[in-house]
Amino acid sequence: MVDVKEGGDVALVNGGFDGIVLRKGEKYDLSLFAKQLEGKGGKIRVSLVQDGQVVAQTTLKAPKKEWKKMTAVLKAGADADKASIKVEPLGEGKVGLDLISLFPQNTFKGRKNGMRADLAQTLADMKPKFMRFPGGCAAHGDGLHNIYNWKETIGPLEARKPQRNVWNYHQTRGLGYYEYFQLCEDLGCEPLPVLAAGVCCQNSSDRGNGQQGGIPMEKMPEYVQDVLDLIEWANGDAKTTEWGKKRAEQGHPAPFNLKYIGIGNEDLISKTFEERYLMIIKAVKEKYPDIVVCGTAGPWSEGSDYERGWQLANEHKIDMIDEHYYRTPGWFIYHQDYYDQYDRNGAKVYLGEYAAHSPGRPNDIETALCEALHICGMERNGDIVEMSSYAPLLAKEGHTQWNPDMIYFNNTEVKPTVGYYVQKLCGNSSGDEYIESTLTVNEGRKGVRERLAVSTVRDSKTGKVYIKLVNVLNHPVKGKLDLGSLKDKFAQSQSVDARLHLLTGNWDDRNAKPTERTIQVSPEFEYELPAYSFSLIEI
């Protein structure tokens, strides 16, 4: 509420998050809700200002006695990196203002209320196959009252319920389930919404460390229905289902074709958890047997929760299990066979969160190459590991609670890490068929061999073959590759052109980027792996 006295000059001024970025000639959608509470009232002037200079300005009609949404389009007359929005009631009396929003029209794919174009394009360049949302501990929340409720994140922005989350930052819910599903559609990837398993995070601040709270059992049928309603909202017919109609009313009549749903996140596998978790999974599979349910194996990759989580998966035939682990570079080096030992007839694996953490938590050549080693192992075990995702994904400079992250950004720049480039190269060359391959090196020591990896895959749609080679040693390695199984590639000649994508640098290099050039390959050829390198040969 703003109270303007006679002859007064009162304004609301807000600088956004570290300033508002404006670009000359670009248009910005303004909206706000206003109501004249007392007094004569008058028009409302809205300005975008930097260093006392007006970059854009508009004047809105005087508000009425009832709440009304007021809109305008502002066109920037100059560039600005640290602008503020200034809202000035020009009349007298008390004016109520709510949900003041300034949004660029230049969003990813031109979506209204859409994603920041450069950030979303950085994701698109990875060619992701799926996207998990809302991510980790945000899903099961800081106490039962704070469990993420998807129904509060759809519909008009003014109807959404904002709240803080377990990481202690504010969520406006302007990016809700509708925008998330729409982004997945624009990226060409599958949505993987993750919902709480009827319990809050065991580290909730309102219960104390290790105290896991569960939704009262008499309220669980209502919560289970919320889960089922999400699937209906995503896939239901726009005319014959209640939640399908709501999706259509928001602007998307066609179903989103949801295939996956996650239940639980790093939960302690307690009796409280098990009862609610299995209740939800049973209800989903009974009503929607084709939906792939992704459960959880607790907060670690070993120990009692991990073992019980996997036991539940096998006893109840849960489709897929979400594993999380952050390990040292050495762990990744010495566990390249990690998934070789998994039961080939059990649940599939979704490695939902992983990263190599070295002292000081940098994202550099060493950590990125150790993650590349692990990707080679996951590709070899593609019959077990269905999906994987590095975590965390995004972090804004100056507001970062966790390191390392894959993509850092500020208001004007996007700063992909070395780890991002490994994920991008692998995401662009994942293939759908694993080809047994042999890499022979002139060094037999176990410690040397464990710092090398090879993975060969084929894309059946394009016919392309991708050979990934990783060297985490501090010196080059001369290797001989046997491609005898790729006879179709060499039917007419003894050698063919291939594209080499090479990422290399000093072990602590945080700014390395891949280079690309053409090389010649033959059924048997020698290739020297540079020190600290990831090579991707595209045939």
Kindly provide the residue ranges of all beta strands, DSSP E only, lying in 423-476, ordered along the sequence.
Answer: 433-435, 438-441, 452-458, 465-471
Residue 116's DSSP bridge partners are: 107
In terms of Cα–Cα distance, which of 200, 132, 194 is closest to 165?
200
Residue 118 half-sphere exposure, CB side, CA atoms within 13 Å? 11
What's the one-letter identity of residue 53? Q
Concatenate the DSSP letters of all residues of 74-122 into one string.
EE-SS-EEEEEEEEEE-SSEEEEEEEEEEEES-BGGG-TT--BHHHHHH
DSSP state letter for 390:
-
Concatenate the DSSP letters of all residues of 364-377 into one string.
SHHHHHHHHHHHHH
- Which 3 state secondary structure label does DSSP give 55? strand
Distance CA 233, CA 200 (A): 24
In terms of Cα–Cα distance, which of 195, 192, 193, 194 is closest to 130?
192
In terms of Cα–Cα distance, which of 334, 330, 336 is closest to 358?
330
- Asked if residue 392 has a cis previous peptide bond (ω within 30° of 0), the answer is yes
SS (H, E, C) 202-213: CCCCCCCCCCCC
| Token couple for 539 | 């045939």
- Which 3 state secondary structure label does DSSP give 31? strand
DSSP state letter for 217:
G
Concatenate the DSSP letters of all residues of 276-295 into one string.
HHHHHHHHHHHH-TTSEEEE
Q: How far is CA 367 from CA 303, 357, 363, 417, 442, in A?
A: 25, 7, 6, 11, 25
- Asked if residue 193 has a cis previous peptide bond (ω within 30° of 0), the answer is no
CA angle, 311 then 312 then 317, to 5°: 105
- Determine which one of 179, 232, 266, 371 is catalytic: 266
| Token couple for 124 | 């698109």
Q: At what angle do helices 304-315 and 271-287 cross, to 10 degrees?
A: 30
Distance CA 220, CA 222 (A): 5
Distance CA 230, CA 195 (A): 10
**Residue 266 annotated among the catalytic residues of the structure:** yes
In terms of Cα–Cα distance, which of 160, 164, 184 is closest to 173?
160
Catalytic residue numbers read: 266
